[in-house]
Amino acid sequence: MIEATPLADQPFGVEVTGIDFSRNVSDEDIRTVIRLFYENAIMIIRDQELDLDRYERLVGQFGQLHHHLIDHLRLKDNPAVLNLSNIFQNGKPIGGYQGASFWHTDVAYEDPGNSATIVHGREWPEGGCPTYFCDTRAAYDALPDGMRKRIDSLTVLHHYGNRDDLNEDSTTSAEKLQGHQKDQIQNVFHPLVKVHPFTGRKALYGVAGSSFGIVGMPDDEAIGLLDELKIHALQPQFVASFDCRPNDLGAWDTYSTLHKATTLKPAVGTHDRRLVWRISVKGYPPLMADEAVHASV
Ligand SMILES: [Fe+2]
């Protein structure tokens, strides 16, 4: 039986047990898991022995598989999958290495952005490698009335990068792009406050990372407001973490959270290697499209 337990010692998030995605799972069980995911914004399901194809099919239940802009990191036979790793071969990391160690929202530099990201743990370093998440729904709810009214209808300009660190060789900037990838970058616009299509909850969207301005507002005032909201959201009472160990499935709802990775040194042996498969999706779960009743995305 599917059971949900709050993540221990964390202000939000859920661990789901009683399901085995290495076997065929009923549509109703998939809906149950996805509803728990949307309610809780981050989710971990441990002990899921999945090969690449099974993992990819499972993630396809959460939305449409997204092929990442950074095409040189895609796996050849499974192009929706990126490795996240500190393993180096021939002097180069085998996947995304340090490009996510700042607070951000996945692919908010596209329209639409990602709706969810689901990772599968493969190798895990001694000492751990947590990913941190900020509950931007709770952060929104905790704002004073006046601030909520001020920001509810604002539109934010996004493009690729980290507005706090534009030095592409830095460890806290966004993953460095190649020339043809830079050519695809455009400005896109998203609401500052997103209404979740399934839960109807409002959340601060993308107030860190790829947000660079607010429509109709002078730049210094816009950055000041985005920074104020980011600092508010990143208070400890809104921040949780989990660690993806081998065969763990970890998922985050990108409409309801900000997140950042832990920076690791390049692995020198088997004891300190990290490898995680990552797929992000856009849009709605195919089994639940008719439940997306709240407009705004
Ligand atoms: Fe990310």
User: What CATH number corresponds to the domain at position 275?
Assistant: 3.60.130.10
Q: What is the per-residue pLDDT across 14-34, written as a single tens digit (0 to 9) for each?
A: 999 999 999 999 999 999 999
Average pLDDT, integer, range 240-245: 96
Domain assignment present for 114: yes
State in Å: Cα 175 to ligand 1 middle. 10
The answer to the question of residue 260 being in a domain is yes
- Alpha carbons 38 and 13: distance in angstroms, whole number: 10
Residue 296 domain flag = no
Q: 193 burial class (0-12, 13-18, 19+ CB within 10 angstroms)?
A: buried
Cα of 1 from ligand 1 centre, angstroms:
31
Count of the separate structural domains present in the chain: 1
Range of the domain at 83: 3-291
Residue-level pLDDT at 295: 67
Confirm whether 101 is domain-assigned: yes
What is the rounded average pLDDT for all residues in the chain? Answer: 94
Name the pTM for this structure: 0.95
- Residue 297 domain-assigned? no
Our CA angle for 101, 12, 156, nearest 5°, is 55
Q: How far does residue 68's CA lie from ligand 1's centre (Å)?
A: 11
Determine the pLDDT at residue 296: 54
For residue 75, report the distance from its CA to the centre of ligand 1, in Å. 17
> Between 272 and 99, whose confidence is greater?
272
Domain assignment present for 274:
yes
Give residue-wise pLDDT tens across range 129-141: 999 999 999 999 9
Which of 285, 277, 286 has its CA nearest to residue 51? 277
Checking phi first, is residue 201 left (phi over 0); if not, alpha (psi -120 to 50) or beta? Answer: beta
